[in-house]
Amino acid sequence: MIEIKEVLSKSDEKKFIEFPNILYKDNKYYVPPLMSDEKKLFSVDHPAYEQSEAVFYLAYDGDKVVGRIMGILQKTYNEKTGEKRVRFTRFDALDSQEIADKLFGAVENWAKSKGMNKIHGPLGFNDLDREGLLIKGFDQFCTFEEQYNYDYYQKLIENVGFIKETDWSERKVYPPDQVNPKLDALAERCIEKNQLKVPKFRNTKKLLGKYKDQIFDLIDECYSPLYGVVPITMRQRDLLVKQFNLLLKTDYIILVTNKDDKLIGFGFAMPSLSKALQPSQGRLFPFGVFRVLKAINKPRIMDFALVAVAPEYRSKGVSVIIAREMQRLMVKFKKVTHYETNLNLEDNEEIQNWWNLYKTEFNKWRRSFIKKID
């Protein structure tokens, strides 16, 4: 008999966080999140709760945890779209339809109690949180920013009544032997014609001190029309910088500014932590930090995080400049075997076409589902 219980105690929180590490113990493609980041989900001081409410459930078979799920009421997104939606995330379970039915049933009841009439996901608090259910590419390593899941999850979710809302694709990007001469020449012409600059910094602190807010402002502006995206609050910005600060190196950050030193485009990559986090199950201490530092200082795989260009500059070659700088990055770090793109919406033709400047292969697909509950 499966029983669903809301997470209300510190002991429950620990079980919620630890369950994936138990479920995927022998899976070599699962990459755990940082446990310290997951613990923050339960803090009332988490900046995401300025925009949202959340609920957490565990499924039990006797005394054994056999599933979990988190529901999010993203108020800002509902205000933006005029809809009444709840998101689901952190869904993990054994291959049992009963477990899935009861977990999603709990979130549905919570959604109804809030006056909502749709559930969609997997989606986190914002676009920089974990999103999308893996539907193809189960034999590929997930990046540090992604959630792995077994292939039977899709069946469980669809049997509950969910249907596809949108898909994302991901690619491996392979480094070129040299910067494409035509791309290099075109980038220089765009810089000269439009009086643009590619500023360089020796340390991340100075870079972020000058451009942090401009970076986030540009993210909000460029990503706002995309699926599931909400503005990132000031406190969330600070938390995100703190979470990723260890990975942010000036070598991996590309900025493009206009003649007035206003940021008009950027792209950045991060060392992959996938293999470094596996042995310690997402814990930095006592020994995980050494593997993480090695992965940062001697990367073999890199993750492309974000690329953005201000709308008014998209016809002025800024994306060409960023692509050239990324090729320079790839040529410089010769020991990096490949780069992972993270999630690209299937109907985002601009970013899909942009990757055609490189040698790539599709390696993963993810899906967001939706269900009406009115």
Between strands 301-309 and 338-340, the pairing is: parallel
Task: Compare 233 and 75 and report the one with higher pLDDT.
Answer: 75
- The CATH H-level (homologous superfamily) assignment of domain 173-363 is Gcn5-related N-acetyltransferase (GNAT) (3.40.630.30)
> What's the whole-model pTM score?
0.91
Residues 6+ apart with CB under 8 A from 315: none
Report helix, strand or coil for 16. helix
Tokens of 167: 């898909």
Per CATH, the number for 2-170 is 3.40.630.30
Per-residue CA distances from 245 to 207, 242, 296, 340 (Å): 12, 5, 11, 19
Over residues 141-164, mean pLDDT: 93
Is 173-363 the same fold as 2-170? yes
For residue 144, pLDDT beyond 90:
no
Phi, psi torsion values for 258, nearest 5 degrees: -90, -175
- The three-state DSSP-derived secondary structure of 54-112 is EEEEEEEECCEEEEEEEEEEEHHHHHHHCCCEEEEEEEEECCCHHHHHHHHHHHHHHHH
Residues in the chain: 374
CB 33 within 8 A of CB 89: no
Query: pLDDT tens digits, residue range 244-257?
Result: 766 678 888 999 99
Report helix, strand or coil for 354. helix
pLDDT, position 280 = 58
Query: pLDDT tens digits, residue range 36-56?
Result: 889 999 998 999 999 999 999
- All structural domains of the chain with their residue ranges: 2-170, 173-363
pLDDT, position 282 = 59
Over residues 19-40, mean pLDDT: 90
Over residues 77-103, mean pLDDT: 97
Fill in the DSSP letter of residue 251: G
CA gap 169, 167 in Å, rounded: 7
